[in-house]
Amino acid sequence: MANDGLLIILSGPSGCGKGTIVSRILKEREDTILSVSVTTRAPRPGEIDGFHYRFITAEEFDNMVQRNDLLEYAQYSGNCYGTPRTAVEEHIKAGRNVILEIDVQGALQVMQRCDDYVSVFLTVPSMEELEKRLRGRGTEEESRVQARLTAAKEELEYVDRYQYRVLNDDLDEAVEQIHRIIETEKSRKNPQ
Ligand code: ADP
Ligand code: 5GP
């Protein structure tokens, strides 16, 4: 029987590089997958339904909450986001590490509800650099950029609630640190 996989919570302010790092990790490891969240936000150009997110209506979201289908959920910058529970549980039982790329509110819920998880907070060298990355991505209107920067300042206050903090300055270095965390936690969970 396969050992259970890890439940990995990855948070960090919008624009810090979570998506970039996760896609590298997924490319470089066959044992790890990303949980596909549901959201009421509109897709960005290039985002694929069922891959980046499942894009659903507010009504569908409420139904999932009522049915207790979500492991955690939160509102972020005016939209709702949540993690479908069953898929996460099945992947972990099958031995796959599951990354939840979620905001701080959702992360705190998972920390409360699950007794075995690995939590990582991704940071940036400065707020100026965060703003540069957020604008450089070119996906947000000006008012949205401001809302995300305000949310970022609030989120940074929760960094101490996480087991690991990783600075995303040099991208390769940050990716390498996440690989090391996964290896360390795998051997902790399943000692040979
Ligand atoms: P998030 O998923 O946290 O919102 P993204 O992965 O979309 O962030 O990254 C935001 C922008 O920052 C993207 O344009 C990305 O290419 C860029 N970026 C990511 N990591 C770095 C890095 N280490 N140095 C410079 N730019 C980066
Ligand atoms: P974005 O709109 O930039 O894709 O995501 C905005 C924020 O929502 C990010 O901090 C992202 O990590 C978070 N997020 C994405 N999916 C989920 C989810 O399922 N639950 C929670 N709580 N946050 C999520």
- Compute, in angstroms, the gap from residue 118 CA to the centroid of ligand 2: 18
Residue 49, beta-bridge partner list: 53
Q: 136 in ligand 1 pocket by Cβ < 6 Å?
A: yes
Task: State the average pLDDT over residues 93-108.
Answer: 97
Domain 7-189: top CATH class: alpha beta
Nearest CA to ligand 2 atom 20: 82
Question: Cα torsion at 149, 155, 160, 165 (round to 10°)?
Answer: -60
Percent of the chain having pLDDT more than 70?
99
Confidence of residue 1 (pLDDT cuts 50, 70, 90): low
Residues contacting 182, CB < 8 A, separation 6+? 6, 8, 25, 29, 32, 97, 118
Each domain of the chain, given as residue ranges in start order, spans 7-189
Instruction: For 102-134, write each residue's pLDDT tens digit.
Output: 999 999 999 999 989 999 999 999 999 999 999
pLDDT averaged over every residue in the chain: 94
- Number of helices (H) and strands (E) in the chain: give both, helices first: 7, 9
pLDDT at 2: 67
Q: 16 in ligand 1 pocket by Cβ < 6 Å?
A: yes
Residue 77, SS3?
coil
- Compute, in angstroms, the gap from residue 107 CA to the centroid of ligand 2: 10
Instruction: For 7-52, write each residue's pLDDT tens digit.
Output: 999 999 999 999 999 999 999 999 999 999 999 999 999 999 999 9
